[in-house]
Amino acid sequence: MVKRRLKEHVIDREWCKGCGICVHFCPRHVLELDEQEKAFAARPQDCICCLLCELRCPDLAIEVITEELQTESATKEQTE
Amino acid sequence: MSAGLKFVQGNEACVEAALYAGLQFYAGYPITPSSEIAEHLAVRLPRVGGTFLQLEDEIASICAIIGASLTGCKVMTATSGPGFSLMQEGLGYAIMAEIPCVIVNVMRGGPSTGLPTCPSQGDICQARWGAHGDHAIIALTASTLQDVFEITVHAFNTAETYRTPVILLLDEVVGHMREKLVVPEAGAIATVDRLKTSLKLGMDYHPYLPREDGRLPMSDFGGQHRYNVTGLFHDMWGFPTQEPSMVHGLLRHLVDKIANNADSICRYKEYYLEDAHIVLISYGGSARSALHVVENRRVRGERLGLLELQTIWPFPYSVVESKCANARYIVVVEMNMGQVTRAVKRAVAHPDRVVLANRIDGVFITPTDIRNILRLIQGKGV
Amino acid sequence: MPFKDYLRKRFFPHIWCPGCGHGIVLGCLLRAIEQLAIGKNDVVMVSGIGCSSRICGYVDFHTLHTLHGRALAFATGVKMSVPRLNVIVPMGDGDALAIGGNHFIHAARRNIAMTAIVMNNRTYGMTGGQYSPLSCHGDFATNAPYGNIDHDFDVVELARAAGATFVARSTTFHARQTTEIIRKAIAHPGFAVVEVLSQCPTYYGRKNKQGGAAEMMEWYRDNTTPVGSKAKQQNPTLIERGIFVQDAGKPEYCCEYKKLVERARRGAS
């Protein structure tokens, strides 16, 4: 499997209803709910890009943008 | 079946007409006295590439034809009282979602399982108000096999024109009666095809935005326009709404598209009405006995006439009113406890002159039954 | 096409409660369709009534939101008319197995190629949390204050017995597996049933003291096991998940009808 590196967590604050599923199940405790009960990446540096938060978000509000840990051209292709 | 003279059963005449009108999809559940419609279509539809399905019940049957209609097919189901009761839910859906379909109800005695093999005309009011909520409905009927043919084609044409379910109310006598039928040449009776949208791919198609004439051009499911269909009140894209003006507008549209076109939907036949002192009003099988009485009395010089209704709903109030304007008595001949009589009384200037001649015992109403009522009216005793 | 391009985004955020599992099922379903690279015009989604049925409004396919329990009957009409379409029928547990139970077993019996997804939250959410045919014996509900005395259906066994040729179960916790199963179900040439255990924290979870959405998903994690696992032998109360039936050999209904038409036409000529 190709290794991937996080670019960013894109979280749609309009769509997020603050259920906390992503926070609860994140294996590295990357995510938290803010004072408005919206998810945000508090510790993005710890993200291992498992994508479970994205897959389990019932609001379809999270998108984990990643890039391949490879040559530059391959990285470009993947993110396009 | 080729054009020409046939000797067939009423249910078979209905099948011939449905195929003539372009029926492509039938789903149903066996029930007396409508089953011959399914049996004949099971033979005929596959031969023309159409679909015949027997499903698990009448609920599934009406739902399946609605689904098929959405893909662009002309569709039909057939049933009788108990099955018609089960279909009310789907009927309401087809009204709300404006899906063309034809529902044949070969009426038998009710309520409940009632008299499965006996004639009745007891579902007239159920056809009108069986589905919940305010709505308009089209219900047609016929008394001869030739008329069954023409009215069945009319049912399909009307369903397609107004994008609405049309109920064909036959009765056990008409459904099971055998007599001659002349199947017309293709094209001799005009058939109406689905009005399709001409909007090209990429243009904003509004499935529920009526044209000025009230008609809705349709895009087939599976085609290039994607939209939503729902039984909820909806906007012009088909998405649910509770916005009061849209709810009001849609309900008015559903009722007005039929009410405003009642004249073109209305079919009737008249016999000796010009100078009639006594006007008989009848429909379906009962109209055959009524016509027999009228023709016999005319020979004796009595001024009787018959108005035979072929469109029951929307009720032809103005036709009944004008045809009965000079009548001393109006006798409604039907096989129920006065379901059309009630509407006739609302239509005429003197409701007290409207009399019911009926039978409700599962026996076909005969000329003698009608003559007995006439004797009473004419003061001749029982 | 990114799976979010299948959404009618203008209707988001959706109407489901915070933590409702149905949104996870929606995500899995759309990822499965994305993986199969199916075009929007080639999918008809037919739903009934209930929380689950609102899924139709959110997806940019041909969508048919029908009557309570009747989705499979409408879908049968669509599929028989245009067999090339991918017909997907998301249903709730009451929708599919109480009011729609008869349509469910008969669609399975015919083996008509469509994908039935039972989003099982063991309750009627839309009407306020009443007990459903998939509520367990002893469960509590807004109208089962003294405990539910009904027994629940096992969707997998029911679908198998009724003749479905693809039968699977997953949960919202196992989102990757759910996506994979739905993908296989859509590709399956017959009637496919996928039960997805989907949490209703608002009613079922609250009434049965199962905690919030995350705790309910933990319950799915801890109380399910892959089909055929040793764990099931040791602990029979575990719920198995995975693919139970996958039989591409049984004749499919639309194909059989096509052959029937050919026979009828030969006989007529």
Phi/psi for C146 (5° steps) reads -105, 10
| Interface membership of B51 toward C (CB under 8 Å) | yes
CB neighbourhood size of B270 (10 A):
14
Q: Is residue C48 part of a domain?
A: yes
Q: Residue range A65-74: average pLDDT? A: 73
- Residue B131 C-alpha, separation from nearest chain C C-alpha, in angstroms: 13
**Residue A75's pLDDT band (boundaries 50, 70, 90)?**
very low
Interface size, chain A vs chain C, as Cβ–Cβ contacts under 8 Å:
68
Collect all residues of chain A within an 8 Å Cβ-Cβ radius of residue C14. Answer: 15, 59
Q: Is residue C192 part of a domain?
A: yes
| Interface membership of C11 toward A (CB under 8 Å) | no
CB neighbourhood size of B380 (10 A):
10
Q: Report residue C176 as tokens.
A: 């990757």
* Residues counted in chain C: 269
pLDDT given at position A68: 86
pLDDT given at position C123: 97
| Interface membership of C61 toward B (CB under 8 Å) | yes
pLDDT at C94 over 50: yes
The Cα-based distances of C172 to B33, B195, B269, B285, C31 in angstroms read 50, 44, 64, 60, 14
CB neighbourhood size of B80 (10 A):
28
Q: Residue range C183-193: average pLDDT? A: 98
Contact C73 B63 (CB under 8 A): yes
Which class is B1-265 in CATH? alpha beta
Q: Is residue C7 part of a domain?
A: no
CATH of the domain at A16: 3.30.70.20
Domain holding C30, by residue range, is: 13-268
Which chains does chain C touch, 3 or more C-beta pairs < 8 A?
A, B
Contact C18 A52 (CB under 8 A): no
Given a contact cutoff of 8 angstroms between Cβ atoms, the answer to whether C13 and A59 are in contact is: yes
| Interface membership of B47 toward C (CB under 8 Å) | yes
Render pLDDT for A10-67 as a digit per residue (tens, 0 to 9).
999 999 999 999 999 999 999 999 999 999 999 999 999 999 999 999 999 999 999 9
DSSP C106-163: HHHHHT-SEEEEEEE-SEETTTTSEE-TTSPTT--BTTBTT---S----HHHHHHHHT
Q: In one letter, which amino acid is C85?
A: L
Interface size, chain B vs chain C, as Cβ–Cβ contacts under 8 Å:
128
Query: Omega into B33 within 30° of 0, i.e. cis?
Result: yes
Of C19, C179, C212, Cβ closest to residue A58: C19
Contact C214 A19 (CB under 8 A): yes
* Structural domains counted in chain A: 1
Collect all residues of chain C within an 8 Å Cβ-Cβ radius of residue A63. Answer: 4
| Chain C CA closest to residue A38 | C18
Which class is B267-377 in CATH? alpha beta
| Interface membership of C192 toward A (CB under 8 Å) | no
pLDDT given at position B261: 96
How far apart are the C-alpha atoms of B37 and B21, rounded to whole Å?
A: 15
SS3 C185: helix
Given a contact cutoff of 8 angstroms between Cβ atoms, the answer to whether B21 and B74 are in contact is: yes
Q: Residue range C143-172: average pLDDT? A: 98
Contact C27 A57 (CB under 8 A): yes
* Structural domains counted in chain C: 1
pLDDT given at position A78: 46
- Choose among B58, B137, B59: nearest CA to B96: B137
CATH of the domain at C220: 3.40.50.970
Query: Omega into C13 within 30° of 0, i.e. cis?
Result: yes
Cα four-point dihedral sign C163, B63, B203, C56: negative
Q: Is residue C6 part of a domain?
A: no
Long-range pairs for C261-269 at CB < 8 Å and ≥24 separation? Answer: C261/B46, C261/B49, C263/B46, C264/B43, C264/B46, C264/B47, C265/B46, C265/B47, C265/B49, C267/B47, C268/B47
| Chain B CA closest to residue C76 | B64
Of B56, B71, B232, Cβ closest to residue C78: B71
Contact C19 A57 (CB under 8 A): no
Given a contact cutoff of 8 angstroms between Cβ atoms, the answer to whether A55 and C35 are in contact is: no
Per-residue pLDDT of chain B (382 residues), as tens digits, is 689 999 999 999 999 999 999 999 999 999 999 999 999 999 999 999 999 999 999 999 999 999 999 999 999 999 999 999 999 999 999 999 999 999 999 999 999 999 999 999 999 999 999 999 999 999 999 999 999 999 999 999 999 999 999 999 999 999 999 999 999 999 999 999 999 999 999 899 999 999 988 899 999 999 999 999 999 999 999 999 999 999 999 999 999 999 999 999 999 999 999 999 999 999 999 999 999 999 999 999 999 999 999 999 999 999 999 999 999 999 999 999 999 999 999 999 999 999 999 999 999 999 999 999 999 998 887 6
Contact A25 C24 (CB under 8 A): no
Delimit the domains of chain B by residue range: 1-265, 267-377
Collect all residues of chain C within an 8 Å Cβ-Cβ radius of residue B232. Answer: 65
Domain holding A20, by residue range, is: 4-79
How far apart are the C-alpha atoms of C221 and C30, rounded to whole Å?
A: 23
Of C13, C26, C31, Cβ closest to residue A17: C13
Q: Is residue C1 part of a domain?
A: no
